[in-house]
Amino acid sequence: MSKLSCICGHIIVDQTDNISYKAHFIRNQDIDAIDNQVEDINNFVNAIKNGERNKWLKKYFESEIYQNLPDSTVISDIISKYNLEYQNDMFLCEKCGRIKIQKGDENKFISFLPEDNHWIDIFKGLSKS
């Protein structure tokens, strides 16, 4: 998605990273499934220890392109694989405060209007960095 219109007329733009009006969410029912990424990373580490790194990579990613990539990139892509499968987007309209939540794996968003004016900065990051 690059642009999403709100019923109030505001256009929500998603064309960069670190957006203060965007958030991601994972449904509670998918937490166990997304936790499988730890098992996949552990299996990758064990494959390295057993000298079967390239064999494991080819089977897991169904591609040979990972064989020359650093382990950190492989681990990052394992995590990204799960994020892409289970994570959805939410956007905050900076004009009216509506929260637009992605429905399932569709390119469809459902709107919710806040009950008060405490919505400003609701998606502000908690990161200390």
pTM metric for this prediction: 0.78
The amino acid present at 3, given as its one-letter code, is K
What average pLDDT score do residues 8-28 get? Answer: 93
pLDDT at 53: 96
The amino acid present at 81, given as its one-letter code, is K
| Alpha helices, DSSP H, located in 10-106 | 31-34, 36-49, 53-61, 71-86
What average pLDDT score do residues 90-107 get? Answer: 93
What average pLDDT score do residues 14-33 get? Answer: 91
pLDDT band at 43 (very low <50, low <70, confident <90, very high): very high
